Structure 1
């Protein structure tokens, strides 16, 4: 968090003047306010994605700030070096096309995914599965798109000298029609890193970072290459990709529930839990029933903590099965079992 805070502050020193110099005060304010729309849409999706095993809010703030400031600053710094790689004698149109289809996919996905790599290496206890990877990736992407949208929206407003047709068109296209574009790109990297992180192997996680950049860059390139055929390609290509992503997440959520049930079942077999408690903690219906029951006695918050502790215990057990860092993980297991007993006594008192 200290590293992230320092980098975010230093990046803001670069990013804020860059935005103001491009769009001015009025453009910045209008871009900021309209950019809140797609940001809210993506973060709402993140909230629902993260409900089964919620990540620490501080780390989600880190991810959001990384995307909104550090990734943008990194992109801004690296971009000039790519200009030297453009074909000699390129026209302005060719140069812009090169930046959009080559530079942007490579530099932006690398910059965003660096935040994922830091989270996976420095906070790996909270980055232990594909859903975690998606949650952090979507949050980073939401932050990046937020700052990028300020630039796009503000610049269009300034060029039109007011909120004209072009302004509302680009707000609709970027803010309503495609708020998940960056999230889907970076989400592929987060997904692969999440699968690797489950093995509790740093080397495998780093390898997944580099491998995961390839589909992210490819999807980003295809998106930026749609050009005049945008609407047609959006309907026949991008929408199916989006629905496949939603379907894939549903399967991941089902897998999460099965994993939780299997690992908690081991504690039930050992006498730490009852099988009825496993059903309450490891199924959506069981969780809803448990919270409704606890709410009748004013103990819903305690029950929520109990469910989260049981889920954390299940995922700690999963990491123990990797056979790595056993001493540290078993200490976490003992702490969670003790906490579980305390919360259970409170909720049933």
Structure 2
């Protein structure tokens, strides 16, 4: 196939200068273009981006995960712990691949995602193990007429587990506020926390099946298929309700609104979790009937919702970058390239010809974050902080563009 570059798509990607290179934007401040926009920044960029706090959070969550791992090892033994850990990597990989697909438009910082996973796999499991028995005992006293096998999985587990996971998502809202821009971010962070929790929980379930059956056998295989292949996204779906609610709230700002959204999302996550754990009773105890008639359609609905959210982010990117283009920071062709998947793929292929693919990735990521920051400014949220972030991003975009032009000319 003949190789084609951005110059072959003048209506979708930057114009040529030199042949194949993007047209540099005029370096004028916002409001200086042919169609002035509201001035967007005046304050100096703040020092620090929350990285130090994230490192501390990662260190604490890592210690918690080591303690949980030690507990599992002491309960299962070395061989069972290693085998079940390997099996648990299968559903974990499925979840992380799905979340990576969701996160492709505006990738979140790896440090924040690492903390989310460690929180889910370590701290949230630890909270569940420590607090679960006390909550169950309280529910037994409050609901004496209910059977223990109902109170444990249908009431206690959803309440304790979703609170434990949701706290990690809430911490990320405040610890990495500049990277928590909307509902897609919330779904990614919440899903990563849930994937970590499910990973550790699966080790416990697989280990229990292994020990009770006396070794490898049908019971372990059944549990693996049920949890690892049929329902790897169960926890992700529950906790994503919290992330979605928080992501919608941060778009409007305000701590009271964020906390209110957290509790609403938490309630939805708990109800969904209860429905999953106790739903088989609705269809005469048949898990497979429950799974195919109710859970599969719900999963399809969730995927559809994520696709619609991603498309909304693409439209938002085009709208906000268009305002910067009117002020002279981007060309119209650059806006089209940055706001379409096809344009991004073509630009990355072009930059890869002269070894600047990673530089183009940086340009795309910074421009996308700039559009989301502009959205926060337009909404009047945290103006001094967002205006400082905007100024830094405009400088970064200009510098990265210059680097790519120099590389292509060389």
Q: Does 1:325 align with 2:378?
A: no
- For the residues of structure 2 that align with 1:52 and 1:12, how far apart are their CA atoms? 30
SS of 1:44's equivalent?
A: helix
- For the residues of structure 1 that align with 2:326 and 2:143, how far apart are their CA atoms? 69
Map 1:125-140 onto structure 2 (within 5 A): 125-140=178-193
Give the corresponding residue for 2:363: 306
Q: Does 1:58 align with 2:115?
A: no
- For the residues of structure 1 that align with 2:56 and 2:402, how far apart are their CA atoms? 39
CA contact (8 A) 1:260 1:282 kept: yes
Q: Does 1:85 align with 2:142?
A: no
Give the corresponding residue for 1:235: 292
Q: Does 1:338 align with 2:398?
A: no
CA contact (8 A) 2:139 2:156 kept: no
Give the corresponding residue for 1:165: 218
With structure 1 as the length reference, what TM-score do the two structures score? 0.96
- For the residues of structure 2 that align with 1:201 and 1:143, how far apart are their CA atoms? 29
CA contact (8 A) 1:22 1:151 kept: no
Map 1:246-285 onto structure 2 (within 5 A): 246-285=303-342
- For the residues of structure 2 that align with 1:3 and 1:175, how far apart are their CA atoms? 32
Q: Unaligned stretches of 5+ in structure 1?
A: none
The Cα of 1:322 is off from its aligned counterpart by 2.0
Aligned length: 348
The Cα of 1:207 is off from its aligned counterpart by 1.1
Map 1:42-121 onto structure 2 (within 5 A): 42-87=95-140, 94-121=147-174
Higher mean C-alpha deviation, range 297-306 or range 132-141? 297-306
- For the residues of structure 2 that align with 1:89 and 1:238, how far apart are their CA atoms? 30
SS of 1:272's equivalent?
A: coil
The Cα of 1:9 is off from its aligned counterpart by 4.1
- For the residues of structure 1 that align with 2:357 and 2:62, how far apart are their CA atoms? 38
Higher helix share: 1
CA contact (8 A) 1:27 1:155 kept: no
SS of 2:354's equivalent?
A: coil
Q: Unaligned stretches of 5+ in structure 2?
A: 1-53
- Which has the higher Rg, Structure 1 or Structure 2? 2
The Cα of 1:18 is off from its aligned counterpart by 3.1
With structure 2 as the length reference, what TM-score do the two structures score? 0.82
Q: Does 1:29 align with 2:82?
A: yes
Q: CA RMSD in A?
A: 1.7
- For the residues of structure 2 that align with 1:183 and 1:284, how far apart are their CA atoms? 26
- For the residues of structure 1 that align with 2:62 and 2:118, how far apart are their CA atoms? 9
CA contact (8 A) 1:116 1:136 kept: yes
Q: For 1:83-104, what per-residue CA distance to the aligned partner results, in whole angstroms no more than 9, with x for missing partners?
A: 322435999x921321100001
SS of 1:225's equivalent?
A: helix
The Cα of 1:56 is off from its aligned counterpart by 0.4
